Amino acid sequence: DTEVTQTPKHLVMGMTNKKSLKCEQHMGHRAMYWYKQKAKKPPELMFVYSYEKLSINESVPSRFSPECPNSSLLNLHLHALQPEDSALYLCASSQDYPGPYEQYFGPGTRLTVT
């Protein structure tokens, strides 16, 4: 199984809402990633988890809060977002050290902030 799944596929939320994005993989990968992609732009790295510990935070605003409850799951908690945060949020996973290894991407969650 080389699939990364993400839920929900689409999400519309208001600026005062709290919501969560979920990502799951069963490939035994110990590295997981969140990317943000705006229209006609490449994906931009947000966070990296290595062995369930946050290893990279690309200066992402605190209204985005990642969580890695176990080696198969990755969440992104959203709170008090702004309309400019509307984008496609992609999760990816890969093997870890020694690396680097190809990343497997999920289909993404398309987020609209109203």
Partner 1 sequence: GQNIDQPTEMTATEGAIVQINCTYQTSGFNGLFWYQQHAGEAPTFLSYNVLDGLEEKGRFSSFLSRSKGYSYLLLKELQMKDSASYLCAPHSGGGADGLTFGKGTHLIIQP
State the residues that interact with partner 1 by CB under 8 A: 4, 30-31, 33, 41-45, 48-50, 55-56, 58, 90, 94, 96-100, 102-108
| Three-class HEC string of 72-105 | CEEEEEEECCCHHHCEEEEEEEECCCCCCCCCEE
Identity of the residue, 18 or 41, whose beta carbon is nearer to partner 1 in the bound complex = 41
Strand-pair category, 10-13 with 109-113:
parallel
Nearest distance from residue 44's CB to partner 1, in Å? 8
Nearest distance from residue 113's CB to partner 1, in Å? 19
Nearest distance from residue 18's CB to partner 1, in Å? 26
Q: Which two tokens stand for residue 35?
A: 């990317």
Side-chain half-sphere CA neighbours of 90 within 13 A: 16
Q: What are phi and psi of 40, to 5 degrees?
A: 60, 25
Identity of the residue, 69 or 98, whose beta carbon is nearer to partner 1 in the bound complex = 98
Identity of the residue, 103 or 113, whose beta carbon is nearer to partner 1 in the bound complex = 103
